[in-house]
């Protein structure tokens, strides 16, 4: 993943959230909670099974960030 800073980072994260939700909502919905200099917090909601699919949904979000 490329090194991103400032508003470019915010734009990239927001784009990833938008693309993620476009294909995975309502089963899983991502919501950006907070952005700091070196980290961000995304909340995932939905009726997904907490024991058999959460990691897949998180990995899908990482994939969106890498695009």
The backbone torsions φ and ψ at residue 29, rounded to the nearest 5 degrees and listed phi first, read -125, 130
- Kindly state whether residue 61 falls inside one of the protein's structural domains: yes
pLDDT tens across 14-58, in order?
A: 999 999 999 999 888 999 999 988 899 999 998 876 666 778 888
- Kindly state whether residue 27 falls inside one of the protein's structural domains: yes
Contact between 51 and 35 under an 8 Å Cβ cutoff? The reply is no
Domain count, the chain: 1
Q: From residue 54, how far is each of 18, 22, 44 by CA, in Å? A: 19, 18, 9
Higher pLDDT, 31 or 6: 31
- Kindly state whether residue 1 falls inside one of the protein's structural domains: no
The backbone torsions φ and ψ at residue 3, rounded to the nearest 5 degrees and listed phi first, read -80, 120
pLDDT for the residue numbered 52: 66
Instruction: State the residue range of the domain holding 41.
Output: 6-66
Looking at the predicted structure, is the pLDDT value of residue 3 above 70? no
pLDDT for the residue numbered 6: 62
Tokens 């907070």, residue located: 34
Residue 57, both tokens: 């949904």
pLDDT for the residue numbered 50: 64
């Amino acid at each position: 993943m490329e090194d991103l800073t400032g508003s470019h980072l915010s734009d990239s994260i927001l784009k990833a959230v938008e693309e993620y939700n476009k294909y995975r909502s309502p089963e899983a919905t991502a919501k950006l909670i907070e952005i700091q200099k070196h980290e961000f917090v995304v909340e995932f909601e939905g009726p997904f099974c907490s024991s058999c699919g959460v990691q897949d949904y998180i990995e899908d979000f990482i994939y969106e960030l890498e695009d």
